[in-house]
Amino acid sequence: MSPTENKLIVHSIESFGTHDGPGIRLVVFLQGCNLQCKYCQNADTIALKGGASTEIESLIKRAINMKTYFGDDGGVTVSGGEPMLQSKALIPFFETLKTEGIHTNIDTNGLIRTPEAKHLISELADLVMFDVKATTEEGFKSITGAKGLGRLLENIQLREQSKKPYWLRYVLVPDYTDSDESLSWLIETFSGNKYLEKFEILPYHKLGIYKWESLGMDYQFKEVEENTPEQIERAFEMLKPHFKDVIVK
């Protein structure tokens, strides 16, 4: 199935999202991803096939039914997979949510640069959460299977220039992304960004392995250990002084 203007290909829906943006959120996980990260927690969302073609209208109804729960800062998050693969259909979705007064957020790997994706980043989304997978192109490729750091940085820059808030999320993978050089690069690259509201450190964990196994796929990061509390603490202490708000999830 391919996305059309009034439909989204949905993997699943979580009506009580408390970890994907501010407040309580309706999280719509969209099917399909342009990357294949070795530690992906939602391996079943990667395939471009599958998912349920879902009327945008029904998603909007869900969001409206949740208004009483949203409070001042809750709303809708589209995640995935990579939601920007369906950026065309996201535009009418977000526009309607906006007229309903519902806060919108995109959880993206930030590689896609179609005009619609750019419009979402520079204009439409109330919040964008960019995944920073690695701090070098080689590192990026070793984790995601493709190069893409440059495009990600361009998109982050686009958001910064449009003067709208965004968050960065960084998975702390032992030996892959937690070196002093990596962390220093993050500080150099982003600490001057005015509209970067929050920096989330996501400890590496293996909770999603079962999904790889149930898909009959090989989880390639088996040998990578989860972070020790000291490693997390160290990264936190290093980043904390340089950003508005650093949190460990």
Partner 1 sequence: MDLENTFKTGRWCKAIEVKDFVTLNITPYTGDHKFLEGPTARTSKLWDICKDALKEERQNNGLRDVDVNVVSGLTAFEAGYIDKESEVIVGLQTDKLLKRAMKPYGGYNVVKKALSEHGLEPNPIIHESFSKYTKTHNDGVFDAYTDEIRKFRSLGFLTGLPDNYARGRIIGDYRRVALYGINRLIEGKKEDLQKITGPMTDATIRLREEVSEQLRALSDMIEMGKIYGLDLSRPAQNGQEAVQWTYMAYLAAVKEQDGAAMSLGSVSSFLDIFIEKDIQDGKITESEAQEYIDQFVMKLRMVRHLRMEAYDQIFAGDPTWVTESIGGLLIDGRSKVTKTSFRFLNTLYNLGPSPEPNITILWSKNLPKGFKDYCAKVSIETSSIQYENDDLMRTSSNCDDYGIACCVSMQELGKHIQFFGARTNLAKTLLLAINSGRCENTGTQMVDGIPFIEEEYLDYAKIIDNFKIAMKEVARVYNEAMNIIHYMHDKYYYEKAQMALIDTNPKINIAYGIAGLSIVADSLSAIKHAKVKPIRDENGLTVDFQIEGDFPKYGNDDDRVDHIARDVVEHFNLELEKLPVYKNAMPTMSVLTITSNVVYGKKTGATPDGRAKGVAFAPGANPMHGRDTHGVIASLNSVAKIDYKDSKDGISNTLSVVPKSLGATPEMRIENLVRTLDGYFGCNAQHLNVNVLDRDTLLHAMEHPEDHPQLTIRVSGYAVNFVRLTREQQQEVLTRSFHETM
**111 binding partner (options ligand SF4, partner 1, none; Cβ < 5 to 8 Å by kind):** none
Q: How far is the CB of 97 from ligand SF4 (least distance, A)?
A: 22
Give Cα separations from 13 to 27, 88, 198, 205 (angstroms).
6, 20, 25, 22
**65 binding partner (options partner 1, ligand SF4, none; Cβ < 5 to 8 Å by kind):** partner 1
**3 binding partner (options ligand SF4, partner 1, none; Cβ < 5 to 8 Å by kind):** none
DSSP per residue, 11-37: EEEEEEESSSSSSSEEEEEES--S---
Residue 11 contacts residue 1 (beta carbons within 8 Å): no
68 binds partner 1 (CB under 8 A): yes
**Contacts by 183-188 with C-beta closer than 8 Å and gap 24+?**
183/235, 183/238, 183/239, 185/135, 185/136, 186/132, 186/135, 186/239, 187/238, 187/239, 187/242
Where does this chain touch partner 1 (CB under 8 A) — which range of 32-40, 69-77, 85-93, 132-140?
69-77
User: DSSP label at 4?
Assistant: B
**74 binding partner (options ligand SF4, partner 1, none; Cβ < 5 to 8 Å by kind):** partner 1
Binding mask 21-60 for partner 1 (x = CB under 8 A): --xx-x----------------------------------
Nearer to ligand SF4, 70 or 130 (CB): 130
Dist CA 38 CA 165 (whole Å): 29
Q: Cβ–Cβ contacts within 10 Å for residue 19, how many?
A: 12
Q: How far is the CB of 192 from ligand SF4 (least distance, A)?
A: 26
Dist CA 30 CA 86 (whole Å): 8
User: DSSP label at 97?
Assistant: H
Nearer to ligand SF4, 46 or 172 (CB): 46
17 binds partner 1 (CB under 8 A): yes
Binding site for ligand SF4 (CB under 6 A): 33, 35-37, 40, 42, 45-46, 80-82, 109, 144
- State the residues that interact with partner 1 by CB under 8 A: 12-19, 23-24, 26, 62, 65-66, 68-71, 74, 247, 249
